[in-house]
Structure 1
Amino acid sequence: MKHSKLNWLNFLYKTSLALGLLSLLLFVIGSILFRQTQKNRIQAAQEKSKREAVLATLEIERELREFSQPLSLLSQELSTGELSTTELQTRLEREITENPQIANLGVAYNLFSYDQDKMFYAPTYIRAKDAIKLIQLEDIYDYTSPEYGWFRDVFIQGAHWGEPYSWPKNDFIDEVLFGYYQPFYQPEEGSTAESLQGVIYAEYSYTHLEDIMDSLNLGKTGYGFLISQQGKFIAHPNPETVRINSNITDILQQQPDKNKLINTINKVFEEQIVETEFIDQITGKKSWVYLRPLDLNDWVVGIVFFEEEVLVDSKTKRQWLIQLSLLFMSSLFFLGVLLFWSKKFNLKKLWLLSIFSSALFIAEIGFIWQLLLENYNYLANRLVLLNKTELEKILSPHIKLSEQLHQKTPPKIPTGFFLQSVKFSEGHEIFITGYIWQKYLLGTYDELSRGFILPDAVNANDLEISEVYNYEKDGFEVIGWYVEATLHQDFEFSKYPFDRKDIEIQIWHEDLETQVILIPDLDSYELINPKIKPGINQDIILDGWTLEGSFFEYKFRKFNTNFGFKQGFSRNNAPSLYFTIAVRRNVFAPLISKLVALVCVVALLFAMLLILNRERAMEILGVAAGLIFILIIDQISVREAIAAQGLIYFDYFYFVIYL
């Protein structure tokens, strides 16, 4: 008998040792794999971005070489006398007709070079509204002025690509242009500054290069841009950045680590390939930037992606960490078996092992709770709108589809929110009060009705919208409404009391048939970082909840109806604007009120088992039945309070006690 017991203990000892080592080995391997997975995701995104940058560089250089070829040929023919001034206009018209990417093509003569009686002469063919028209550039602006340096720069640099610029106000061209400028000389006088007769120039719309940058495959929010040698944006997902001639140095001045970033830009202007990381002060997101200069003209292709987007989402990360923690706990448990369970087995060591095991389980539960309370990564699987660049990138395919279908470009109406209060009414309903405003571009959207719809409103009696202001500013009509509404929400309670809620306020424009796109009015917020909680009253009180952040986002939904409008109307895959408030339940109150009671019941039952003997078993069962009945009533009250439909996390604590 004693020998059999020793064999059993030896088997248990060896099994515990093997399982403990196996658990520890799996934990180490899993930890390495997890870290490597995160690292590989970032590295894969970086390598992909680099490949995209190289492809964009090659494609842009190919386009630019094709752009410049007609000018080089024209310069050669003019300088050798093959092309006479009388044939010049005909040749210019032919070249711009055969090259649709050219916005305007012309010749600007040096002072009095064309005719002793003409100080300026610059015949130019322009592409205006799909029609080619001949104008005189000198009638629009003085091309020799330092303000438009391309003409003077030819005397210094020779043939070159110029900086982006805009023509003064005119009836023909109102977009940013960049151009290639090629000198030509007096025939048979050589290529000297004294014999320079004028400049042949071709200017192009930035939209051609922007199409190349838009084609880059950089995920949901990653994007590419192109800057000139002086740092001006030539292509950018946000057209406004190009239109106002933004300089990358001015933008970097807004960042806290501006000196580091400016030094990085200076390096790439010295023809070095650079990559760096920075945290955007406005959005709070960690970004990776790759900059690659073009060999042709020292322009720079830039690639940006956000690390949170490529990392594993919060749910996957949490599941992975829980599995690792269980392996680590298992290795500690089997280590405890080896320490407390030896050949000299006794009751004291069994108690020590039991206490040690309980402590491990409590620590594991606490670790899982901590994971549930950590900040949530919203960027991995949602279209969060944090700046105009991301906004334009998300909307670009939708806008281009309308153009391909020869439909009218959907109007874009800036819309803002400011919530004064939020109250949880019932299980799946919330009551909100606050302000909503919209901005309508005067002279462009005058035919649109003014107003919005909250499609998740429960009923008309719980919805009050009243206009409180209406004024004009900076070319916009700004209308603001005060709103009180009860909204239905699709809440999930399965993780109660460690649940999070996304209060999603969906808004449509009231003119459904026009298919208006509502965009967040980002200019009305100082910071759009979700952690700063833009659009929320800073003194807001949420009973039993902690406000984690707020942000705008798009969702592309499908509908199985045309809402009664004409055939062909559809809102399928149209971007629906949401203002989302992320909240987390305060777990302290539910844990104190419910979990402490459960612990007390378990402690009482355990104490009764220790104190009472078998002869009084019926008394134990009677007391246990009474306690269980109390727990059943308590469990029902918890489920009714949150209107839970399926099982919730807290139910499992009751089930364990019932068993």
Structure 2
Amino acid sequence: MSIEKKVWLISGLLTLGLAGLLLKLWIDLNHFEGDPTQLPDQASVDAYLDKIGTAPEYRVRTGIFIKSFIFTGASNVQVSGYIWQHFEDGVHDAIKPVEGEVGFILPEAVDVGNGVIEEVYRMSQPDGELIGWYFEQTLRQKFDYTSYPFDHKTVWIRFWPGEFDVNVALTPDFSAYPATGPSDVFGIDNEIVMGTWERENTYFDYRLSDLDTTLGIGQNEFQTNLPELHYNFVIKRNFANAFIVHMVPLIVVTMLLFGAVMTVTRREGLVERHDFSTSSVIGTCSVLFFVILLAHVQLREGFAGSPVIYMESFFFLMYFLLLGVSVNTYLFASEAVPSLWIIHYKDNLLPKAAFWPFVLLCMVTITAYNLYLKEPPKPQLEVTHADGD
């Protein structure tokens, strides 16, 4: 077997191995790990409230059912559905809302005046009264998009009790759902329109309030250590849509760039057949640069204000490849540096054979960093991305 065939055989084996490794990393990156803070049953709620050290004076069972949601702007998620609460006779008399009042607050609501929270039913029960409200509210939140298009979003409904002068803890109404285990999806309409998203998980959890004030109620220190009830529903982006929109053009441009590299030659007959010239290869790289630049600008506009995202790293890789191919072609054709044998050896064999292994190795490195080394984001209260997906 000739040296050229051995080099191309090694290149092909490395390409297949790295492609398989990249596929495995993509599968791992697209996998969602459950949140360890989720509360699957009443026992876990009792254990949490006992652990925080500040015992609530009242516990009000609260449930929620989501009918629809949509990303409506740069910092808004519009959610609609039903919220209900149980008030026991002789226990919650002092805090039970009268008709027209609401027994909870959605602190992240940004359109309180235009939003809807209206009572839709009030039912007597053997131990008290059940009150339900229909709500349509726009909530302000922040999501991490740095793993796009393998990102998962946790949209949460954050509850505060309606009373500030007493210690009230809202607890999940587990009895209203058929199953609330770590892998169960509950509290959200099965027919909800998700667009380019897929339902992944739902759960309740608590997060201690970060208030550094008693809100002027000097004797109510419970407000500075308030266990805020959160209902969370996790959604996963449909990878196929983002792959077609962004990755397919990048792959096509990479293949065209590889074709330009393969035309680099000094062999008689091939020069005329390939119509090879330094200016033609550099011209091709210039055209591809503007194609990639426009696609990059379009992607960046969709994530304005966000750090560099995973998909964006491949655009930087393409810039480096375009520059590398141009420099390689110039040095090969001009013979300005004859000592660079790695370029001149057997008609530019090594750069040609190393093209795909190098591209895939860079993609594997970028993916592995995002999967294993990148620090997970901390929950915020502001959105940095305004796409409607």
Shift of 1:467: 0.8
Shift of 1:503: 0.7
State the AA in 1 paired with 2:208. Answer: F
Partner of 1:414: 61
Report SS of the residue matched to 1:532.
coil
CA deviation map 1:497-538 (0-9, x unaligned)? 001111111011121221310000111112112433111111
* Cα distance in 1 for residues equivalent to 2:308 and 2:223: 35
Answer yes or no: is 1:565 the counterpart of 2:212: no
Shift of 1:560: 1.6
Answer yes or no: is 1:532 the counterpart of 2:184: yes
Work out whether residues 497 and 587 of structure 1, in 8 Å CA contact, stay in contact via their aligned partners in 2: yes
Partner of 1:396: 50
Shift of 1:459: 2.9
State the AA in 1 paired with 2:6. Answer: K
Work out whether residues 260 and 284 of structure 2, in 8 Å CA contact, stay in contact via their aligned partners in 1: no
CA deviation map 1:249-273 (0-9, x unaligned)? xxxxxxxxxxxxxxxxxxxxxxxxx
State the AA in 2 paired with 1:368. Answer: L
**1:61-76 superposed matches below 5 A:** none
Percent identity at matched positions? 29
Report SS of the residue matched to 1:378.
coil
Work out whether residues 214 and 224 of structure 2, in 8 Å CA contact, stay in contact via their aligned partners in 1: no
* Cα distance in 2 for residues equivalent to 1:401 and 1:431: 33
Partner of 2:11: 354
* Cα distance in 2 for residues equivalent to 1:431 and 1:568: 32
Report SS of the residue matched to 2:190.
coil
* Cα distance in 2 for residues equivalent to 1:613 and 1:354: 19
Partner of 2:228: 576
* Cα distance in 2 for residues equivalent to 1:568 and 1:514: 7
Partner of 1:632: 293
Please, which of 585, 590, 599 is the counterpart of residue 237 of structure 2?
585
Partner of 2:105: 453
Change (3 A) 1:650 1:644: farther
Work out whether residues 414 and 519 of structure 1, in 8 Å CA contact, stay in contact via their aligned partners in 2: yes
Please, which of 244, 269, 279 is the counterpart of residue 618 of structure 1?
279
Partner of 2:315: 654
* Cα distance in 2 for residues equivalent to 1:650 and 1:468: 45
Work out whether residues 63 and 176 of structure 2, in 8 Å CA contact, stay in contact via their aligned partners in 1: yes
Work out whether residues 412 and 517 of structure 1, in 8 Å CA contact, stay in contact via their aligned partners in 2: yes
Larger Rg: 1
Q: RMSD of aligned C-alpha atoms?
A: 2.0
- Normalised to the residue count of structure 2, the TM-score between the two structures is 0.74
Work out whether residues 505 and 578 of structure 1, in 8 Å CA contact, stay in contact via their aligned partners in 2: yes
Shift of 1:352: 1.2
* Cα distance in 1 for residues equivalent to 2:232 and 2:238: 19
Change (3 A) 1:347 1:461: farther
Shift of 1:415: 0.3
* Cα distance in 2 for residues equivalent to 1:534 and 1:636: 39
**1:264-275 superposed matches below 5 A:** none
* Cα distance in 2 for residues equivalent to 1:578 and 1:455: 11
Shift of 1:569: 3.1
State the AA in 1 paired with 2:316. Answer: F
Report SS of the residue matched to 1:517.
strand
Q: Which moved more, 1:429-438 or 1:638-647?
A: 638-647
Work out whether residues 427 and 642 of structure 1, in 8 Å CA contact, stay in contact via their aligned partners in 2: no
**1:332-411 superposed matches below 5 A:** 346-379=3-36, 382=37, 384-398=38-52, 401-402=54-55, 409-411=56-58
**Structure 2: any 5+ residue segments left out of the alignment?**
98-102, 267-275, 321-389
Ranked by relative contact order (alpha carbons within 8 Å, sequence separation 6 or more), the top structure is: 2
Report SS of the residue matched to 2:221.
coil
Change (3 A) 1:401 1:465: closer
Work out whether residues 417 and 436 of structure 1, in 8 Å CA contact, stay in contact via their aligned partners in 2: yes
Work out whether residues 87 and 96 of structure 2, in 8 Å CA contact, stay in contact via their aligned partners in 1: no
Report SS of the residue matched to 1:385.
coil
Change (3 A) 1:396 1:518: same
* Cα distance in 2 for residues equivalent to 1:522 and 1:501: 23
Partner of 1:168: none
Partner of 2:346: none
Work out whether residues 555 and 575 of structure 1, in 8 Å CA contact, stay in contact via their aligned partners in 2: yes
* Cα distance in 2 for residues equivalent to 1:616 and 1:581: 57
Count of aligned residue pairs for this structure pair: 306
* Cα distance in 2 for residues equivalent to 1:434 and 1:616: 65
CA deviation map 1:205-245 (0-9, x unaligned)? xxxxxxxxxxxxxxxxxxxxxxxxxxxxxxxxxxxxxxxxx
* Cα distance in 2 for residues equivalent to 1:401 and 1:561: 16
* Cα distance in 1 for residues equivalent to 2:173 and 2:9: 63
Shift of 1:449: 4.8
- Normalised to the residue count of structure 1, the TM-score between the two structures is 0.45
State the AA in 1 paired with 2:31. Answer: E
Partner of 2:199: 547
Work out whether residues 158 and 231 of structure 2, in 8 Å CA contact, stay in contact via their aligned partners in 1: yes
* Cα distance in 1 for residues equivalent to 2:114 and 2:202: 24
Report SS of the residue matched to 2:66.
strand
Answer yes or no: is 1:556 the counterpart of 2:208: yes
